[in-house]
Amino acid sequence: MVEIPFNRPTLIGKEITYLRDAIRRGQLSGDGYFTSRCNMLITELTGAQKVLLTHSCTAALEMAAILCDLAPGDEVIMPSFTFVSTANAVTLRGATPVFVDIDPDTLNIDPMRVADAITPRTRAIFAVHYAGFPADMDALAKIARAYDCLLVEDAAQALGASYKGRPCGSLGDLAAFSFHETKNVISGEGGALTINRPELNERAEIIREKGTNRSKFFRGQVDKYTWVDIGSSFLPGELIASYLCAQLEMAEMIKIRRLSIFERYMEAFAPLEQAQRVRLPRWSEHSTGNGHMFYLLLRDGADRDAFIAHMRAAGIGTPFHYVPLHSAPAGRRYGRTSGTLSITDRISETLVRLPMFFELGSQAEDVIDRAHAYFDPAGVTAQ
C-alpha cells in the first residue's frame, strides 16, 4: 500500500547547523541574531517596509487587529472561507467579523461583495490569499481608500506569490504570514507581520513586546523600558527563528519545486476538467502563485467524500478544507453575514486537496494514478 501523507515537513538546507549555532550563541529568547536575519530575508522576499517575526500567523493577525484600533461595535469584512484565526483576531478585540462570499473562479474574497458589505462601522478589510494566489488587491485597495479602511493581507499561504509583479506582503497596509509546518517555508510554528504604513511601526514593536518599549531601550533610545500600551508575547524564540532562517534561504528553490508539482497535477487532471468531471484551480491573470496548494472541485459532497475514501484506502491523504465560518457555532455567535454565501457553501462541500510537499517527487505519479482510478468509470485516462 502506498503511504503518501498530505504534508511532510522537510529538512532542506542548514536547519540543524543553525539550530546548533543558536544554542552556541547563548540566546534562546527572541529578537536575537536569527530573528534579525529572518526579518531581513522576509523583507527581501516581500518588499515590505518593515517585518516583525512572530510565533504564529495567528499572532500576526492579532497584532494587525490591534493596529487597526478595533473596538466593540466595529466591523471587519472578510471571507467566510478561511481559517478561524482570521476571525478570532477580530473577535478578540470585541469587533464583528462580517462574512462575504468568494469569487467562484479564484476562491478569493469578492470585491463586489466587499463593497456591498461596507457600513459606517467598517474599520478594515481582511483579504485572504487562498491557495497562494493573491486576491484582487487593486479593487480592494480602492474600496479601502474610499471608505478610509485599513487593508490587511491574510497571506498565510502566500509567501513568494505576487500580484501585478508586486509580492504578497507589500500589497496591503499590513500582512500576516504563516510558517506552520503545512506551509511552503516552515519552522513548525511561526509567522510574521509586515507593515507598509511607517506610522504603525513603533506601535507594532510595542504590541509585539508585551506592550513595552523594550525595542527602543535596546536601540539606546530610552534609558529604561516600561509598559506603554497593550500587547502580548508575540515573539518566537531563537530556535524557531534559526530553523526558519535556513528555510527562508531556500525559499526560491522550494517554490520552484512545488510549482513543478502543481504544473504536473494541472497537466494530469486537465482531461478530467475537459470531461466536466472535476474543476481545476483557476487564478487571475494578474496573479502569480507559489505552488502552495493543489485542489480539485468535485461534483458534490458525496462525490468528494467518496474520492477521499478511495484515496485513503491506498494510504494517500487528500483532506477537504475549511468549514465556512458563517456556518460555525462561533461564527453565528460573533459574526454576521452579508448577502448570500452560496459559492462558499458549494466550494466547501466539493473541494479536496492533493498531497503537496517538497519531497513528493515521483510519488506525485502515484497520487495521479490512484486519483484517475477513481474517475476511470467516466472513461478518462491520465496523460
Q: What is the pLDDT of residue 219?
A: 79
- pLDDT for the residue numbered 370: 96
Q: Report the CATH number at residue 135.
A: 3.40.640.10
- Long-range contact list for 246-250, CB < 8 A, 24+ apart? 246/12, 246/13, 246/14, 246/15, 246/17, 246/18, 247/12, 247/13, 247/15, 247/179, 247/185, 247/186, 247/187, 248/38, 248/41, 248/42, 248/45, 248/185, 249/13, 249/14, 249/41, 250/12, 250/13, 250/185
Give the residues of the chain that fall short of pLDDT 50.
378-383
Query: Last residue of some domain: 196, 227, 249?
Result: 249
How confident is the model over 159-172, as pLDDT tens digits? 999 999 999 999 99
Same domain, 168 and 279: no
pLDDT for the residue numbered 2: 59
pLDDT at site 244? 98
- What pLDDT sits at residue 377? 60
Q: Are 213 and 163 in contact (CB under 8 A)?
A: no
What's the total number of domains in the chain?
2
pLDDT of residue 69: 98
Instruction: Tell me the pLDDT tens digit for each residue of 311-347.
Output: 999 999 999 999 999 999 999 999 999 999 999 999 9
Residues 262 and 124 in one domain: no
Q: What pLDDT shows up at residue 177?
A: 98
Distance CA 85, CA 305 (A): 26
pLDDT at position 201, please?
97
What pLDDT does 262 receive?
A: 98
Instruction: Say what the pLDDT of residue 30 is.
Output: 92
Residues 282 and 209 in one domain: no
Q: Do 192 and 264 sit in the same domain of this protein?
A: no
